[in-house]
Amino acid sequence: MGLLELTEMTVQYGGLRAVDAVSLDIPEGAFVGLIGPNGAGKTTLIDAVSGLVPSSGSVRFAGRNIERMPPHKRARVGLARTFQSIELFDDLSIRENLLVAAEGASWLSMARAPFWPSRSADAAHRVEQALASLGIEDLAGRMPDSVSLGQRKLVTVARAVAANPRMVLLDEPAAGLDSAESIELGRQLRQLTTDGRTVLLVDHDMGLVLSVCDYVYVLEFGQIIAQGSAAAVLQDPRVVKAYLGSEAAAPMESVL
Ligand code: ATP
């Protein structure tokens, strides 16, 4: 039984089926990729798993049906995510940005921390673990606008990890990075599964997705058109066609 299981998940925007009867099964501890051309429905799928857009079909997480849970409860049962846009509090240090997430994203919890030091100590511990997991301990005291784009991306992932989730949904973490930065990001992201977490990675950077993921789903027009190892999906003619029209498979391999 998978940690995250979608059965016939469908998201409808008016007349458009952005996600069309998608079923997938992600085992605990796996690093799974979701790729697909622009507008394929990748972000919509992550939004629906997070509870940010309504969907039909079933969403099971850790053996529970969660499709009716609001987003904050899904977060509480262990689902965390990042967003395409980097929204860090620029007036807080990187450590403080993570602490807000670790405390439950509540300013009230920050304010009451002095009265419940044990809870605060627990959050502080999770923050240090998240920083270490992403290899950015040395950035903890820096302000977000003083670090590089690649480092800010790692901070947003660390912020999701600071809530100690079982699964992290990553929405295009490599957007805006060059290929060397993207390879470095992939190396650091692998640490999440080494630490026992489960990852679903959505990205346009085929090199990143295909090199770090154990298993890859390919979405086109809201439907899964291929799935398997990176090597298998690279060879799949439907994937080649979705990305390159009728070109041969050879150029696909050059993305790695
Ligand atoms: P990209 O790789 O460009 O980010 P994507 O694979 O993440 O694309 P989505 O952003 O999920 O694709 O969009 C899937 C489809 O749903 C697209 O046709 C998009 O125009 C449409 N869409 C997305 N959000 C909405 C919305 N809020 N209302 C209506 N249509 C939407």
CA atoms within 13 A on the CB side of 255: 20
Cα separation, 9 vs 26, in Å, equals: 14
Q: Give the residue from 164, 193, 226 where a domain finishes.
A: 164
For the chain, the residue count is 256
Protein residue closest via CA to atom 18 of ligand 1 = 39
Going by alpha carbons, the residue nearest to atom 23 of ligand 1 is 44
Closest Cα to atom 16, ligand 1: which residue?
18
Q: Are residues 177 and 244 in the same domain?
A: yes
Q: How far apart are CA 235 and CA 254, in angstroms?
A: 12
| Helix, strand, coil tally for the chain in percent (to 5) | 45, 25, 35
Instruction: Name which residue sits closest to atom 25 of ligand 1, judged by CA.
Output: 13
Residue 210 to residue 201: CA distance in whole angstroms: 10
Sequence-distant (6+) residues with CB within 8 A of 228 are: 215, 216, 236
Closest-CA residue, ligand 1 atom 8, reads: 39
**50 with 106, same domain?**
no
Nearest ligand 1 atom, CA 43: 7
Range of the domain at 100: 86-164
Cα of 42 from ligand 1 centre, angstroms: 8
Confidence band, pLDDT 50/70/90 cuts, at residue 172: very high
DSSP tag of 145: G
pLDDT digits (tens, 9 = 90+) for 22-63: 999 999 999 999 999 889 999 999 999 999 999 999 999 999
Pocket test for ligand 1, best of 43, 170, 209 (most atoms within 8 A of CB): 43
Pocket of ligand 1 (CB under 6 A): 13, 16, 18, 36, 38-44, 204
181 and 120 belong to one structural domain? no
Task: Write down the pLDDT at residue 210.
Answer: 81
Instruction: Record the pTM.
Output: 0.89
Answer yes or no: do 155 and 236 share one domain. no
User: Number of folded domains in the chain?
Assistant: 2
Runs of H (alpha helix) within the chain: 42-50, 71-76, 94-102, 107-112, 117-133, 149-161, 179-194, 206-212, 230-235, 237-244, 250-253
Distance 18 CA to ligand 1 centre (A): 7
Predicted pLDDT at 114: 46
Atom of ligand 1 nearest to the CA of 44: 11
Pair 241, 136 in one domain: no
3-state secondary structure 216-240: EEEEECCEEEEEECHHHHHHCHHHH
What is the CATH classification number for the domain harbouring 226? 3.40.50.300
More confident site: 220 or 181: 220
Domain boundary pick from 133, 164, 195: 164
Rounded alpha-carbon distances, angstroms, from residue 28 to 68, 157, 165: 22, 19, 12
Residue 33 backbone phi and psi in degrees, to 5: -105, 150
Q: What is the pLDDT of residues 76-125, one digit of tens each?
A: 999 999 988 878 899 999 999 999 888 864 445 445 544 544 457 888 99
| Locus of tokens 């299981």 | 5
Please write down the long-range contacts of 247-252, taking CB distance under 8 Å and 24 or more positions apart. 252/206
Q: Kindly give the distance from the C-alpha atom of residue 55 to the centroid of ligand 1, in angstroms, as a whole number.
A: 14
Q: Which of 16, 52, 85, 208 to mutate to test the pocket of ligand 1 (most atoms within 8 A of CB)?
A: 16
Token pair belonging to 101: 């997430």
Give the separation between CA 169 and CA 185, rounded to whole angstroms. 15
- Pull the structure tokens for residue 129: 């673990």
Identify the pLDDT of residue 204. 77
Whether 133 and 246 map to the same domain: the answer is no
